[in-house]
Amino acid sequence: MSNKKKSFWPYGITMAILAVVVMGAGTIMIALKHPVQMDEAYLQKKYQNVDHNINEIKKSQQLFSQQYKIVLKNKNFHIGQNKLHIDITDRYSSKHVDNMSVSVKITRPDSDAFDIKLKATDNKDNAYIVPKFKIEKLGRWIVLVRATNGKVEGYLKKEIDVLGNS
């Protein structure tokens, strides 16, 4: 009788390779079910525009911040109809600034499925008013504001909580 020792290394290596292939396939399946959401922090149509022009965007933001101040007057939103009040003032005189082009996007931090894109209008009462919009989901929301005055653009990103019915 011969007692030959059998080596299990070939089986172990084969199982390790199969495990890596299965985990890779699982990762791909999960990635396909949960696609990446595009970040629109600067309210640009394509993220490539932000990528290519980030230095100009930052410079414009800095010039805007030296001249103007953007403040959201809303502390939170409620389920249902909401209005958003945006105050844009001159940094030195604290007076309301007219004739700004103001774009607003209200979004969830985890998905773009609930995005609300709006334009604010100047009501001449020291605020830009966003028309009524409806929110149907509780939790954290992000308000992105893009204000343009000529060639200078300013941006604001603020998180706001949505509470139950008011």
- The per-residue DSSP string of 102-137 comes to EEEEEE-SS-STT-EEEEEEE-SSSSEEEEEEEE--
Residue 17: per-residue pLDDT:
97
6 domain residue, yes or no: no
38 domain residue, yes or no: no
Express each pLDDT in 104-162 by its tens digit: 999 888 777 888 888 888 776 778 888 888 988 888 888 999 999 887 889 999 988 88
136 domain residue, yes or no: yes
135 domain residue, yes or no: yes
2 domain residue, yes or no: no
34 domain residue, yes or no: no
Contact present, 120 and 83 (Cβ < 8 Å): no
pTM: 0.73
24 domain residue, yes or no: no
Count of structural domains, the chain: 1
CATH assignment at residue 93: 2.60.40.10
Instruction: Supply the range of the domain harboring residue 105.
Output: 47-163
pLDDT above 80: residue 3: no
Average pLDDT, the chain: 85
41 domain residue, yes or no: no
